[in-house]
A and B are shown apart, each in its own frame.
Chain A
Amino acid sequence: MQKKLFIGLVKSRRGIIGVSILGFLLSLTAVAVLVIPFDSYRLWNDPDYWINNPKTGAPFWTSYFGSKDFEHVSLDKNNAIRTSEISEGIRVDNFRFEINIGADDFPDDFMFLHSVHYDEIPPVLQIDITRPDNNTFTVYYSSLPTTSSANNTFTDRIFSTNNNIKESLNPYQSFFNFPVSGIEPQVLLFSDTSKLQVLHGAYHISQKFFLFDNSSSIENVGVILGGKVFGIMGTDDLRRDLFVGIIWGIPIALFIGLTVSIFSISIGLIYGVVSGYKGKKIDEGMMRINDIFYAFPTLILLILVSITFGRSIFLIILILMTFGWMGTAKVIRSIALQMRNFQYVEAAKLMGQSDVKVIFKHIIPQLLPLTFASVAISVPGAILAEAALSFIGLGDPTLPTWGQMLHDANTADAASRGIWWWIIPPGLMIALTGLAFFLIGNSLDAITNPLRKQNKKV
């Protein structure tokens, strides 16, 4: 039967589309686990982790349409070419970054990062920028602060607003053929000398550390040029890379959807079979209880539970399971009502088998294929419910779910501010995941549902 189900699934067009979407989502998840650092999932809500990204940056490909906005550049020591030389007893560690600039826009700002380990004598840091026109500007020259303690690691960021940078650039003003007083460093550094426009080409930024004792070492260096566009999907107000959030959202959504639907459909299956098989008074009573559960306003209950017990994903799953079985129970009951009069069921009963054994050995196995279809069909509902709850602000705040992202977007008024890249992808992902399971369930249902077959008599 299982084999027949699979063949039927692959034979129908809807089934193929559904399976391919699901396969695509699963392979994205696999890529995420292998490529994206796990810290981005764990520290999703930690602003420090995302500090090097631009705030509310649009996706990079938007700069191909219309004006060429400056694409955010964030480099660390892995992107640098490191050279080390010793002259006159002083060790010079040089980190060279190459950055190609082709945008029409100047960067919004820039930043130099360093993290250096040293003893009493502080190293000296010199930052040079060699421009495409072969001019080299020394933008920063200063010693790091002295420390009282030995074995100290000093971490700092030098911003473009730093006074040292401003003063270092003063001697170069004569290079430019237009008045440059009052022009900010991030504009001056990247401007053509003849007129105020971006000088395109390769820039070489070198961070030179003059180290005076052997135990000193450079832990990290970095360069950030602040731009308006960043990454495949841009960033949000908290500088988080939305692409990373979207990708991590897949396994979470699949987990929620599948757990909720598998458990609630199982409850519905057993409840419906017991009700239909037992019949009479028990059936009547069980269906009344079903009606009561059916009429409960689930969303309101979810809200109340979240307010009282805090926001945990497992609690949400538990509630969705508790109120997700009634529809299945009704359908299964109507089938079980017919099945209890089947000859093999009656034969089993006459042979003296217990009700439990008849239900679990003879009735439920027959209904399993139909159950697979129900599980698939009810996955989108569970994903939508979790997203809705997160959207109201009662979801699990520690996880990067799509609903949570849309909640953040809505509280930041993203729609009326026109930040479309924050709104469109999470919703599309919810819809895509729902669609995949709906299509799979639909084609499974067409194969397995006995009630549907009867309808197709013409």
Chain B
Amino acid sequence: MGLGRTLLFRSINMFLVLFSTILITVILLGPTLDKLLVDAIRNQVIDEVNQGTLKFQNPDERSAYINNQIQFKSKTLGLDQDSFNPQKVVYRVVSVMTLDLGKSHFFTSDYGSSNVRDIIVEKVPKTLLLFTTATILVTIIGIFLGTYVAGKEGSWLDKLNSINAIFSNSFPTWWVAMIMILVFAFTLHIFPARATPLSSPSDANYVFDLLYHMTLPLITLVLVTFGSWAYIVRYFLINILNEDFIYAKKTMGISRRKILYSHALRNAGPPIATSVGLGLASSFGGSIITEAVFDWPGMGKLFYDAIGLLDIPIIIGLTYIGTLIFLVTIFITDIAYTLLDPRVKGS
């Protein structure tokens, strides 16, 4: 498959996944959303009647008026139709995909807007900051450690690294996070237990405060993943070290060190790049829990809170943005693979 054809297929695939995710979301959450909207309208109408100057002869007339108003307002919003009405579902899917995400019931942005788009736009950079930094650090540590132990296959350090990989894979990240809070926040008082900075975003020190609060989540993420990273790098490298061209280089008298760090590592590039991308994509997925445990003010924490309060517009908006980030990461990974792989370039 040529590069162009791959890209085309990947793009179509990406769009299909995005579209069907939103479709499923809208179908699943439609009835709940309609019910919440009707409730909101009822409260609004009753408020208006209570504070207004309208006078009624008897309670019956009052409730008739209220019901009338609710029906009228529901009709203008299309709430009288069935939640699974195709026209309505398509309208909702299209408006979500064009980033018309509606208003949140419970949350506001730092600057007081209750527009879902504004709220999410504020949270995206924080999630990207934490997880991208962690992935970069882990990749660097993983490549160096992995290459080092690949050169010393069978040594005690190599075995220790494998054991570490198995163990850190078995523990849930969010559990390790709780333990880290227990140790570093409760027992040692080094870092704060809650990662939401106390100063306001307009403050000059906000950035430093944010970075200070980011330390514990960052250490945890690195600690949990570097073991399996080094293991993956080692696995790729050892496979390559057994290839014939490496033996050829050895017979040519090139030093072992040079073979390892230059020739083998370069050939392990594409699969490593893929793993970096997939790891980053899946860590975004896991961010809901990690951020909730650390109280890190990103998209995952917002999602967690929105589930608790059943704020449907926020949930739909985050599902869309989250899936989009996830898919774009995978897409970029695919491109990187094709660009790095010498065999693809040649064809």
Chains A and B are bound partners: yes
- Report B177 CB to chain A, min CB distance, Å: 8
Chain A 271-312 interface mask (CB, 8 Å, partner B; 1/0): 000000000000000001001100111111101110110000
- Report B195 CB to chain A, min CB distance, Å: 12
The answer, yes or no, to whether A394 is at the interface (CB within 8 Å) is yes
Q: Which of B17, B24, B175 contacts A430 (CB 8 A)?
A: B175
Chain B 280-311 interface mask (CB, 8 Å, partner A; 1/0): 00000110110011000000000110011010
Q: Which of A299, A308, A432, A434 contacts B29 (CB 8 A)?
A: A308
The answer, yes or no, to whether B200 is at the interface (CB within 8 Å) is no
Q: Give Cα A426–Cα B185 distance, bound, in whole angstroms.
A: 21
Q: Is the CB of A423 within 8 A of B178?
A: yes
- Report B240 CB to chain A, min CB distance, Å: 11
Q: Give Cα A303–Cα B305 distance, bound, in whole angstroms.
A: 13
Q: Is the CB of B323 within 8 A of A307?
A: no
Give the residues in chain B near A415, CB-CB below 8 Å.
178-179, 181-182, 185-186, 193, 293
Give the residues in chain B near A3, CB-CB below 8 Å.
none
The answer, yes or no, to whether A194 is at the interface (CB within 8 Å) is no
Which of A39-47, A101-109, A345-353, A383-391 contacts the other chain?
Answer: A383-391
Q: Give Cα A439–Cα B162 distance, bound, in whole angstroms.
A: 12
The answer, yes or no, to whether B32 is at the interface (CB within 8 Å) is yes
Chain A 348-386 interface mask (CB, 8 Å, partner B; 1/0): 000000000000000000000000000000001000100
Q: Give Cα A303–Cα B286 distance, bound, in whole angstroms.
A: 12
Q: Is the CB of B172 within 8 A of A417?
A: no
Give the residues in chain A near B171, CB-CB below 8 Å.
427, 430-431
The answer, yes or no, to whether B14 is at the interface (CB within 8 Å) is yes
Q: Is the CB of B167 within 8 A of A431?
A: yes
Give the residues in chain A near B289, CB-CB below 8 Å.
388, 391-392
Closest 9 CB pairs of A and B: A427-B175, A416-B193, A415-B181, A431-B170, A434-B170, A295-B17, A418-B186, A308-B28, A415-B178
Q: Which of A295, A393, A424, A430 contacts B179 (CB 8 A)?
A: A424
Give the residues in chain B near A292, CB-CB below 8 Å.
13, 16-17, 20
The answer, yes or no, to whether B67 is at the interface (CB within 8 Å) is no
Q: Is the CB of A305 within 8 A of B28?
A: yes
Best-surrounded residue of A301, A439, A457 (most CB of chain B within 10 A): A301
- Report B302 CB to chain A, min CB distance, Å: 13
Q: Is the CB of B178 within 8 A of A410?
A: yes
Q: Is the CB of B172 within 8 A of A416?
A: no
- Report A177 CB to chain B, min CB distance, Å: 41
Q: Which of A418, A432, A434, A458 contacts B182 (CB 8 A)?
A: A418
Q: Is the CB of A393 within 8 A of B307?
A: yes
Q: Is the CB of B182 within 8 A of A427?
A: no
Q: Is the CB of B322 within 8 A of A392?
A: no
- Report A148 CB to chain B, min CB distance, Å: 43
Give the residues in chain A near B187, CB-CB below 8 Å.
418
Interface residues of A in 406-458 (CB under 8 A from B): 406, 409-410, 414-418, 420, 423-424, 426-427, 430-432, 434-435, 438-439, 455, 457-458
Q: Is the CB of B239 within 8 A of A455?
A: yes
Give the residues in chain A near B93, CB-CB below 8 Å.
none
Total number of A residues with any Cβ neighbor in B under 8 Å? 46
The answer, yes or no, to whether B169 is at the interface (CB within 8 Å) is yes
The answer, yes or no, to whether B21 is at the interface (CB within 8 Å) is yes
- Could you show 23 A-B contacts with beta carbons less than 8 Å apart? A288-B9, A296-B21, A304-B25, A307-B315, A308-B32, A384-B172, A388-B286, A392-B307, A406-B178, A410-B292, A415-B178, A415-B179, A415-B181, A416-B194, A418-B186, A426-B175, A427-B179, A430-B170, A431-B167, A431-B170, A434-B169, A435-B167, A455-B239
In the complex with contacts A415-B182, A416-B193, A423-B178, A295-B327 CB distance below 8 A: yes
Give the residues in chain A near B24, CB-CB below 8 Å.
301, 304
Interface residues of B in 265-287 (CB under 8 A from A): 285-286
**Chain B residue with minimal CB distance to A306?**
B307
**Chain A residue with minimal CB distance to B25?**
A304
Q: Which of A307, A387, A393, A435 contacts B166 (CB 8 A)?
A: A435
- Report B145 CB to chain A, min CB distance, Å: 21
The answer, yes or no, to whether B264 is at the interface (CB within 8 Å) is no
Give the residues in chain B near A298, CB-CB below 8 Å.
285
Give the residues in chain B near A392, CB-CB below 8 Å.
288-289, 292, 304, 307
In the complex with contacts A304-B29, A457-B242, A417-B322 CB distance below 8 A: no
Chain B 166-205 interface mask (CB, 8 Å, partner A; 1/0): 1101111011101101100111000001100000000000
**Chain A residue with minimal CB distance to B193?**
A416
- Report B166 CB to chain A, min CB distance, Å: 7
In the complex with contacts A292-B20, A297-B323, A423-B175, A438-B170 CB distance below 8 A: yes
- Report A16 CB to chain B, min CB distance, Å: 15
Q: Is the CB of A300 within 8 A of B319?
A: yes
Q: Give Cα A296–Cα B326 distance, bound, in whole angstroms.
A: 9
- Report A326 CB to chain B, min CB distance, Å: 12
The answer, yes or no, to whether B222 is at the interface (CB within 8 Å) is no
Give the residues in chain A near B172, CB-CB below 8 Å.
384, 387-388, 391, 427, 430-431
Best-surrounded residue of A296, A438, A457 (most CB of chain B within 10 A): A296
- Report A202 CB to chain B, min CB distance, Å: 38
Give the residues in chain A near B70, CB-CB below 8 Å.
none
**Chain A residue with minimal CB distance to B247?**
A458
The answer, yes or no, to whether B230 is at the interface (CB within 8 Å) is no
Give the residues in chain A near B326, CB-CB below 8 Å.
295, 297
Q: Give Cα A272–Cα B307 distance, bound, in whole angstroms.
A: 36
**Chain B residue with minimal CB distance to A423?**
B178
Chain A 151-179 interface mask (CB, 8 Å, partner B; 1/0): 00000000000000000000000000000
The answer, yes or no, to whether B330 is at the interface (CB within 8 Å) is yes
Give the residues in chain A near B28, CB-CB below 8 Å.
304-305, 307-308
Given contacts A300-B322, A303-B307, 16 further A-B contacts (CB under 8 A): A295-B327, A297-B322, A298-B285, A303-B288, A303-B315, A304-B29, A307-B307, A308-B29, A384-B172, A392-B289, A392-B304, A415-B181, A418-B187, A423-B178, A431-B175, A457-B242
Give the residues in chain B near A410, CB-CB below 8 Å.
178, 292-293
**Chain B residue with minimal CB distance to A424?**
B179
- Report A255 CB to chain B, min CB distance, Å: 19
Q: Is the CB of A438 within 8 A of B327?
A: no
